[in-house]
Chain A
């Protein structure tokens, strides 16, 4: 089944403790991206990647890192999480620039 898989689905952590949210897609898509969803703000793009080893900042990149060492994986790294990064995170992928994006199930992160 074609899908975007994120792990974990839920995560509660403490301020400053490094964490990684994984994202993997099995559709051979070149483009992958991370969004955070906050009430009243919709989805805002954090980082995106157009191919292996090619990443760029989105609208809200502060406090996040990403890497794209393989085509299928695009992990989101929070080196020192803070409470304002408590949010619902979605990974997405798309095949070509003018196609629709497919979304993962989401990761609900709480930083206390």
Chain B
């Protein structure tokens, strides 16, 4: 079974700062990778996804993530954050052709105006 690690529990930034959130998973086979965002009081929304192809994936709201297979990583980045990016971010992984989706513990991002 796969497990997912998110290295940062809480990140505090100022507006316009760059953001990078780490995500590592443990599974040796082919995986599908996701980043979800949860704004305060809301449900999870998909930010971006990777199934195959170009390891640099662009998502909504200016977010991108890079899949590095050799490092079992799928880090999320945004060059310049806004106050509205304050949210909790979850990395999720499922093995290819496996319905089970495993989540990391989440990273709370607070952006100060």
Contacts and interface: CB of A to CB of B under 8 A. Distances in A.
A101 interface: yes
**Interface size class for chain B?**
20 to 34
Contact of B99 (A41, A48, A105, A106): A48
Given A41-B105, A58-B100, A106 B9 contact: no
A40 B106 CA distance: 7
Secondary structure at the A interface, as helix, strand, loop or mixed, is strand
A104 B42 CA distance: 9
B42 A105 contact: yes
A106 B43 contact: yes
A25 to B, nearest CB: 13
B46 interface: yes
A58 to B, nearest CB: 7
A45 interface: yes
Interface of B: 4, 6, 9, 32, 34, 36, 42-46, 49, 51, 90, 92, 94, 96-106
